[in-house]
Amino acid sequence: MDAFYASAEQAAKPSLRGKAVVVGGLGPRGVVATASYEARVLGVHSAMPTAQARRLAPNAAYLVPRFSLYRSVSEQVMELLGRLSPLVEPLSLDEAFVDLEAGGVADDTASARRTGERLRTAIREVTGLSGSVGLAGSKMLAKIASEQAKPDGLVLIEPGTERELLAPLSVRTLPGVGPATGDHLRRAGMTTVHDLAEAGEAELVRLVGKAHGHGLYRMALGLDDRPVVAERDAKSVSVEDTFDVDLHDRVRVRAEVERLAVRCVERLRSADRSGRTVVLKVRRYDFSTLTRSETLRGPTDDPTVVREAAARLLEAVDTTGGVRLLGVGVTGLADFTQEDLFAQAADARELAARAETPEKPVADESGRPVDEEPARDSAEQLAARRWPAGHDVRHTVHGHGWVQGSGVGRVTVRFEEPGGPVGRVVTFRIDDPELSPADPLPLVRDPVDYSSWPASLPKSRSGPVSAAGGESRP
């Protein structure tokens, strides 16, 4: 999919069509998740600090991600891909490999191209968004072709032309060649894929090691026999938050860890999984990162068990000086649970005690009484948290809209819907009783029915062809 998050926002918000849109974290330490092509012209790109993006594109629209919308669109696209072949390997919400041979929809390069073009048409009619398709005989080449096809295009690599196409490309084009390896190869005088092929396998093994050197040489020759794997089973579930200001209060740190633990379990349950090992991640003020883990007696999806385990792990971590990031994860996933009856009993006792006893202040490490939320957020922070920029709202009089911004006790909303005209802007008090958060509306109200697709596509007789599409990002 092309600039997926940003394109979805432009489709959902008529006033943003054709304008620079940046989706990501909006705080002082926020990072760009996706930038629209209009923003990219100005120098904004994925993984860039949002503060830097604002300097490059001060007039762009900066929005907080709406993952519920992106997931729903992704499901629509993946369903279309699943109709092409039983072998679909999702890489992210907006990218997947598809083995067209297994689906019987590619007879030769001509029929493969027709399939790719019909897929692009289907994606646009169902989601309202554009996708780019790369067609080739291997996953690596299909991925490269899809990058060359962007935006909103299709590139097919003809069999026999692989080495010619790869030769002038940067070594960074190949999978597994990151900044460090790329720099190492550059110092050795290798900047293009042609240079790697000419150097030979023995020299690459000497430079980067046996396993990596062997794989690098094969890729430089255009060889990639990795199969399309239909199921990519998640090995862990985790959530993390980076804080705008370092956390120094130990009570606040613990409260954030427990909150993250509950969010992690919610994500775990939504995937119908349980986990055996709880992992705590702490990034301190000096950017040093610590991880601690605890393995339970059995897999669980009990929020109390995970919360208490994460809290125990925190006790072994020195947070003196401040904490900039916290994360809680669960590994050792399973599709069953082994309930911890002691934790359940403790949870029941805790709930009963809360019902019978009024909330009391607690004390920090110095013995000073503090509230349950010791570090109170400012009114601006509370408003931004309640009304995230770009998120959906509904007003009892004006209808559906989205948050343009909030501050000074006010929230500004533009009332418009996907497919409609540019809407009007109205400002309300942040506590206006007639204004409430809402779920995203579908990007296409009446999508074309593709339930029988692709029955009319040609059947395959021979030759594997893979298709890939998506947005590369760190």
Residues 6+ apart with CB under 8 A from 92: 470, 471
Query: What are 387's two structure tokens?
Result: 């009304």
Closest alpha carbon to 101 in 225, 228, 226: 228
Question: Using N-to-C axis directions, what is the helix angle for 201-208 and 179-187, rounded to 10°?
Answer: 120
Query: What are 439's two structure tokens?
Result: 């779920």
Radius of gyration for the alpha carbons in the chain, expressed in angstroms and rounded: 25
| Rounded Cα gap, residues 60 and 68, in angstroms | 23
| Rounded Cα gap, residues 22 and 35, in angstroms | 5
- Give exposure, 436-474, as e/b (b: 16+ Cβ within 10 Å): eeeebebbbeeeeebeebbeebbebeeebbbbbbbbeee
For the residues of 128-157, what is the DSSP string, one character each?
S----EEEESSHHHHHHHHHHH-SS-EEE-
Neighbours of 271 (CB within 10 A): 12
In the annotation, is 95 catalytic? Answer: yes
Q: Which candidate in 9, 95, 162, 417 is catalytic?
A: 95
Tell me which H or E stretch contains 243.
strand 236-247
| Rounded Cα gap, residues 214 and 204, in angstroms | 7
Catalytic center residues: 95
